Amino acid sequence: MKNKKFTKLFGNSVTTKVFAPGRVNLIGEHTDYNNGLVFPVAIDKGTTVELAKRTDHHIKVISKDFNYEQVEFELGDTTYDHHNFWVNYVKGALLELQKLATINQGYNIFIYGNQPLGAGLSSSASLTVALVKAISESMDLKLEPVKAAECAQAIENNFLNCSCGLMDHAISAMGLRGHALKIDFDHFAVEPCVIPEPLTLLVVNSNVKRTLVGSEYNQRRIECEMAAQTMQLPSLRQANMDLLCEYQDRLSPKEFKRARHIISENNRVECLYNDLKAGNFKNIGRHMAASHISMRDDFEISIPEIDHLVEVIQTNIKTIGGARMTGGGFGGCVIALLNKDELQNVIQAIAKEYTPGAKIAPTIYDFKISDGAYASEYVINT
Ligand code: GLA
């Protein structure tokens, strides 16, 4: 394997190269860590990890996207790096993989990506999945895609103090070109659904800097777990609206709303999946709009700029389709699923109706729905 840049940076040649994609979620937000349903797609942008083994126990990592910053440490060094935040993903990956097998030598690692960072498109999941696949392959450790995704998630849960669910890593590992995957986290079942003609995706980055994401995200997770506990359930997946109303007096108003979002959102994933499969495109707009309202009012993870962007898109879709915020929330991206013929009109409407009032201009992406890092290594019935 040749990469002149790698050889110039490290002196030896690349032996393993892995690309893992980012994602956009069509519907099913914050449901993954409640054992619920999600419906994401992998995109054609993500992170590449190149590596070569060393003869000593030294790790040397260079990140192109952080100005070619170079960090060096010894294998087994598990101290959190407060200065170079990004290198903690590498430390976490080595730590998690060492739980599965012995690593006998150091590495030279080069990391670069082509997806926007911090936009709610899961750049951290693409990085962790790429690291897990590249390092495990170099160790001759054969990981099943689900196991690799769980290992990638463990890096963030255990080393980065982020209580994220498994959705982002699962789709980055298992995504399928042209398909969205309905994933049921109750018993990890994956059902692909082709994005049918004449529909297409539109992803718009509000470019509003996401703040409080970490703390608010972890807080939402605690509130959901508290609600399930009060209802004497293992998770909110077992809840339904009748039970929720029965317990309303014993739940705090916040817990009640958080649980209502999760219960209704799981139902919307089923509805959107079934409608896409059956070609009932007229319902798409309703499901996506209800999801956005639920995220805004019950889960309280939207922001005014995103609400406005969603509204502009929704009002300019004249035939079939819908729009909603996608991802963890508090800024980031909006996703629309709409008729191809309307794409240009909607893009023009965003420039005309949203951009003049917005403090920051949005970015419109033309992502292709792509394969996950492990797509060629597992069989899924479509
Ligand atoms: C982030 C997390 C995911 C998921 C989404 C919200 O992307 O990493 O696990 O919870 O937020 O759906």
User: Which residue matches tokens 């935040």?
Assistant: 85
Residues contacting ligand 1 via CB (< 6 Å): 25, 29-30, 32-33, 122, 164-165, 167-168, 327-328
Q: What is the pLDDT of residue 213?
A: 65
Indicate the SS3 state at residue 62.
strand
* DSSP, res 375: G
Tokens of 169: 């890593």
Please name the residue that has the structure tokens 């005309």.
352
Measure 168 CA to ligand 1 centroid, in angstroms. 7
The yes-or-no verdict on residue 156 having pLDDT over 60 is yes
Q: What digits encode the pLDDT tens for the residues 246-286?
A: 999 999 999 999 999 999 999 999 999 999 999 999 999 99
Return the residue whose CA atom lies nearest to atom 11 of ligand 1: 328
Q: Which residues are catalytic?
A: 168
My answer on whether omega of the bond before 198 falls inside 30° of 0, hence cis, is yes
Query: What is the reported pLDDT for 209?
Result: 79
How far is the C-alpha of 9 from the C-alpha of 109, rounded, in Å? Answer: 10
Please name the residue whose Cα sits nearest to atom 8 of ligand 1: 164
Q: Is 90 helix (H, G, I), strand (E, B) or coil?
A: helix
For residue range 26-79, what is the model confidence (pLDDT) as tens digits? Answer: 999 999 999 999 999 999 999 999 999 999 999 999 999 999 999 999 999 999
Round to whole Å and give the CA distance between 277 and 255: 33
Amino acid of residue 10: F
The model carries a pTM of 0.96
Nearest-CA residue for atom 9 of ligand 1: 165
Q: Which atom of ligand 1 sits closest to the CA of residue 328? A: 11
The DSSP call for residue 209 is P
Residue 149 has pLDDT above 80, yes or no: yes
Name all domains of the chain by residue range, CATH numbers in brackets: 4-23+44-177 (3.30.230.10)
Per residue in 326-382, pLDDT tens?
999 999 999 999 999 999 999 999 999 999 888 899 999 999 999 999 999 887 777
CA 164 to ligand 1 center in whole angstroms? 6
Q: How far is the CA of 31 from the centre of ligand 1 (A)?
A: 8
Residue of 111, 85, 118, 100 whose CA lies nearest to 20: 111
Q: What is the pLDDT of residue 334?
A: 98
Ligand 1 geometric centre to CA of 30 (Å): 6
CA–CA separation, 177 and 191 (whole Å): 14
Largest CA distance in the chain: 66
Ligand 1, atom nearest to 25 Cα: 12
Query: Which residue minimizes the CA distance to atom 1 of ligand 1?
Result: 328
114: number of CA atoms within 13 Å, CB side?
A: 9
Which atom of ligand 1 sits closest to the CA of residue 166?
Answer: 9
Quote the mean pLDDT of the chain.
96
- Distance CA(297)–CA(29), nearest Å, equals 14
Give yes or no for a contact between 294 and 264, defined as CB atoms under 8 angstroms apart.
Answer: yes
- Token pair 């994220």: residue: 164
Q: Identify the residue whose C-alpha is closest to ligand 1 atom 2.
A: 164
Structure tokens at 344: 């240009």
- Ligand 1 center to 13 CA (angstroms): 36
What is the pLDDT averaged over residues 188-204?
96
- pLDDT for 63 equals 98
> Which tens digit of pLDDT belongs to each residue from 203-254?
999 998 776 567 899 999 999 999 999 999 999 999 999 999 999 999 999 9
Provide φ and ψ at 265, rounded to 5°. Answer: -70, -40
